[in-house]
Homo-oligomer: A and B are copies of this chain.
C-alpha cells in the first residue's frame, strides 16, 4: 500500500485553512442574525472537510508559477460548487441524508426550502467569484474558468451524474455505466479543479492534457475508495452514515467487483494517474502524493 507523507498532510491542512479564510471573506454576511440564507450558505460551505478540490487547484497552479494569492479565489469558487452539490444531494427528495461530516445536513439544521436556496446561491456565487477581475487580470482566462466549471458541473457533468445515480437506485447498472456515472458525478469536478490551475497558468495543450488524464484516473480511484468506505468504513471515522449502498441494493464498484478487486483497481488507477505526471519532470510531486493519499484515506 502506498503511504501518505506528513508533508502532504501539512500542505493539505494549510490549503484547507486558507480556503476557509477565503470563503469566510467571499460568502455574504448580514448584520441581521435572522438572515437564514446567508447562515445556511456558510453552514453548508464552512463545514470542515478535506478541501481536496481546492488543494488540486492550488497545487496544479503552483506547477505553472501561479501565486497562491491568485489561485485561492478560484479554489474557493470550485469548493462552493462542491458544497452546493452536497447540500442538494442530501435533500429528502435526493439521498435523504441527515448527517454530513458528523453534523446535521443543511435541511436538518434549517429547513428544506432554505437548503434548496442556499445551494442555489452557492452555485451562483461560484461564477460571480470567477468572473471578478480580482480572480485573474486576463478576462479570457476568467471566461475559460467559468466555462470549464459550468461544463464540469452541469447537465453533462456533475448534475447529470447525480441524475444517473438516482436512476441507479432502481436500475441495475453494469460496470461501464457505473464508470460513466461516477466520471460525471465526481470525476468532472475533480478534473476541472486540476485543470483550473493550468488555465490560471496559461499552460500548454500538452500539460493541460496530462493533467486532465491524471485527474480522470484520480477521480475514479477516489470514487472506488468512497464506495469501499461506504461498504467497510464506520460512521465515527467517515462522519456520515455507512452501508447505505448495500441497504439500497445499489450497484457500485464494490458490489460488482468485490472489495478486493475494487481496491486493486483503485491502486492501479492511482499509479496510472501518477504516470501521466511524468511530463512535469518532478515538478508535480504534490499531485503524485494526492494520488497516493486518495487511495489511502480513511474518510
Contact residues of A with B, CB < 8 Å? 28, 36-38, 41, 84, 88, 91, 93-94, 111-114, 116-117, 119-121, 123-125, 127-128, 130-133, 138-140, 142-144, 146-147, 150-151, 153-156, 159-160, 162-163, 166-167
Shortest Cβ distance from A160 into B: residue: B37
Q: What are 14 sample pairs from A and B whose C-beta atoms fall under 8 A apart?
A: A37-B155, A37-B159, A37-B163, A88-B116, A88-B117, A91-B116, A121-B159, A125-B150, A128-B151, A130-B146, A131-B147, A131-B150, A133-B143, A143-B143
| A166–B146 alpha-carbon span in the complex (Å) | 31
Q: 9 smallest A-B Cβ distances: which pairs? A: A128-B150, A93-B112, A131-B146, A124-B154, A121-B155, A139-B139, A131-B147, A37-B163, A139-B140
Other contacts beyond A123-B124, A124-B159: 7, CB < 8 A: A37-B159, A37-B163, A84-B120, A117-B162, A124-B153, A131-B146, A131-B150
How many copies of this chain sit in the oligomeric assembly? 2
Return A57 CB to nearest CB of chain B, in Å: 18
Please give, as numbers and ranges, the residues of chain B lying within 8 Å of A162 by CB-CB distance: 117
- A interface: dominant SS: helix
Shortest Cβ distance from A130 into B: residue: B146
Please give, as numbers and ranges, the residues of chain B lying within 8 Å of A124 by CB-CB distance: 123, 150, 153-155, 159
| A282–B93 alpha-carbon span in the complex (Å) | 52
A88 near B150 with CB under 8 A, answer: no
Shortest Cβ distance from A124 into B: residue: B154
| A154–B118 alpha-carbon span in the complex (Å) | 9
